[in-house]
Amino acid sequence: MAKIASAELRRLAIVGARARLQELQGEIAALVSAFPEIGRSGARPVATSIKRRKPGRKTPMTAAERKEVSERMKRYWASRRATKSAKK
């Protein structure tokens, strides 16, 4: 098998990429003509009923939830201290 210089290989890759780009542009044109509502901009769906929260935003905890977490963590740390002192 003959070795191809990297410059020649790159040139051939560019030729192939351009040909594939033309094929894709033809497919895009066919899709847009079949579905004109999508347009060329890749528009989003017309109506969405899903409300999305901003990332990192959570609903605040209620007082009861905070109390439950506090009690659970107190039990957790008490058991950790107990096992630590039992090991000594």
Task: Judge contact between 28 and 35, C-beta under 8 A.
Answer: no
DSSP assignment of 12-69: HHHHHHHHHHHHHHHHHHHHHHH-GGGTTTTPPPS------PPTT--PPPPHHHHHHH
The pLDDT score that the predictor gives to residue 26 is 94
Q: Report how far residue 11's alpha carbon sits from residue 9's, in angstroms, rounded to the nearest whole number.
A: 5
Task: Judge contact between 61 and 69, C-beta under 8 A.
Answer: yes
Task: Identify the segments of the chain with pLDDT beneath 70.
Answer: 1, 40-49, 53, 88
The pLDDT score that the predictor gives to residue 76 is 96
The pLDDT score that the predictor gives to residue 3 is 83
The pLDDT score that the predictor gives to residue 87 is 78
Domain boundaries, the chain: 6-42+62-87
Count of CB atoms within 10 A of residue 28's CB?
13
